[in-house]
Amino acid sequence: MAIEFHKDSQTFHLHNAFISYIFKVLPSGHLGQLYYGRAIHDRPDFDHLFETAYRSMSVHYFDGEPAYSLEHIKQEYPTCGTGDIHLPALDAAAPNGSRLLDLHYQSHTIAPGKPPLEGGELPSTYVESPDEAVTLTVTLADALAGVTVDLVYTLYEGLPVLTRHAVIGYTGEGTLRLDRAMSFCLDLPDMDYDLVELTGAWARERHVVTRPLAHGVQGVYSLRGCSSHHFNPFLALKRHETTEFAGEVYGFSLVYSGNFAAQADVDPYHVTRVTMGIHPQGFRWDLHSGERFTTPEAVLVYSEQGLNGMSQTYHQLYRTRLARGEWRDKVRPILVNNWEATYFDFTEEKLLGLAAEAKRLGIELFVLDDGWFTNRNDDHGGLGDWQINYEKLPDGIQGFGAKLHEMGLLFGLWIEPEMVNAGTALWNEHPDWVLHEPGRRPQQGRFQYVLDYSNPAVVDWIFARLCSVLDGVPVDYIKWDMNRSISDAYSCTAASDAQGMVLHKYILGVYRLYRLLTERYPHILFESCASGGARFDPGMLACAPQCWTSDDTDAVERLRIQYGTSFVYPVSSMGAHVAAAPNHQVGRITSLTMRANVAIFGAFGYELDLTALGEHGQDLVARQVAFVKKYRELLQFGTFWRLKSPFEGNEAAWMTVSSDQRTALVGQYLILQEVNAGYRRLRLAGLDPDRLYRVTRLGSGARAAGQPVTAYGDELMRAGLVTTDEDPASEGDFASHLYLIEAAE
| The pLDDT value given to residue 48 | 96
Residue type at 357 in one-letter notation: E
Quote the CA–CA distance of 646 and 729 in Å, as a whole number. Answer: 21
Q: Which residues of 718-729 are buried (b: 16+ CB within 10 A; e: fewer)?
A: eeebebeeeeee
Quote the CA–CA distance of 199 and 235 in Å, as a whole number. Answer: 11
Quote the CA–CA distance of 713 and 627 in Å, as a whole number. Answer: 24
Point out which residues pair with 164 in neighbouring strands: 153, 298
Whether the CB-CB separation of 360 and 625 falls below 8 Å is answered with no
Quote the CA–CA distance of 23 and 50 in Å, as a whole number. Answer: 9
Point out which residues pair with 742 in neighbouring strands: 663, 694
Long-range contacts of 4-10 (CB under 8 A, 24+ apart): 4/42, 5/108, 5/110, 6/44, 6/45, 8/44, 8/45, 9/44, 9/45, 9/46, 9/47, 10/105
Helical ranges in 263-345 per DSSP H: 306-321, 339-342
Whether the CB-CB separation of 486 and 225 falls below 8 Å is answered with yes
Quote the CA–CA distance of 263 and 233 in Å, as a whole number. Answer: 10
Cα torsion 472, 473, 479, 480: sign: negative
Whether the CB-CB separation of 282 and 170 falls below 8 Å is answered with no
Cα end-to-end distance, the chain, whole Å = 38
Helical ranges in 445-537 per DSSP H: 456-470, 502-520
Helix %, strand %, coil % of the chain (to 5) = 20, 30, 45
C-alpha distances (whole Å) from 216 to each of 57, 273, 662 are 19, 10, 48
Strand (E) or helix (H) holding 208: strand 207-212
Q: State phi, psi for 353 to the nearest 5 degrees.
A: -65, -45
In 223-323, where do the E strands start and end? Answer: 234-239, 249-255, 260-266, 272-278, 285-288, 292-294, 297-303
| The pLDDT value given to residue 728 | 67
Give the number of other CB atoms < 10 A from CB of residue 472. Answer: 9
Nearest to 68 by CA among 56, 54, 78: 54
User: What is the crossing angle of helices 592-599 and 614-637, to 10°?
Assistant: 20
Point out the residues of the chain with pLDDT beneath 50.
none
Nearest to 671 by CA among 734, 741, 737: 734
Helix, strand or coil, per DSSP, at residue 730: helix
With a CB cutoff of 8 Å and minimum separation 6, the contacts of 483 are 379, 416, 419, 445, 446, 448, 530, 531
* Active-site amino acid positions: 481, 551
Nearest to 184 by CA among 87, 68, 52: 87
Whether the CB-CB separation of 73 and 53 falls below 8 Å is answered with no
Q: Specify burial of residue 4 (Cβ count, 10 A radius: 0-12, 13-18, 19+).
A: middle
Nearest to 435 by CA among 372, 490, 358, 377: 490
Q: Specify burial of residue 99 (Cβ count, 10 A radius: 0-12, 13-18, 19+).
A: middle
| The pLDDT value given to residue 729 | 67
pLDDT digits (tens, 9 = 90+) for 378-405: 999 999 999 999 999 999 999 999 999 9
User: What is the crossing angle of helices 555-565 and 592-599, to 10°?
Assistant: 10
| The pLDDT value given to residue 381 | 94
Quote the CA–CA distance of 490 and 438 in Å, as a whole number. Answer: 9
pLDDT digits (tens, 9 = 90+) for 627-662: 999 999 999 999 999 999 999 999 999 999 999 999
pLDDT digits (tens, 9 = 90+) for 140-165: 999 999 999 999 999 999 999 999 99
Could you give the angle at the alpha carbon of 660 between the alpha carbons of 655 and 664, nearest 5°? 25
Quote the CA–CA distance of 421 and 622 in Å, as a whole number. Answer: 40
Whether the CB-CB separation of 59 and 71 falls below 8 Å is answered with yes
User: What DSSP letter does each residue of 549-601 carry, written as one string?
Assistant: --S---HHHHHHHHHHHTTTS-GGGEEEEEE-SS-TTT-----HHHHHHHHTS
| The pLDDT value given to residue 702 | 67
| The pLDDT value given to residue 240 | 98
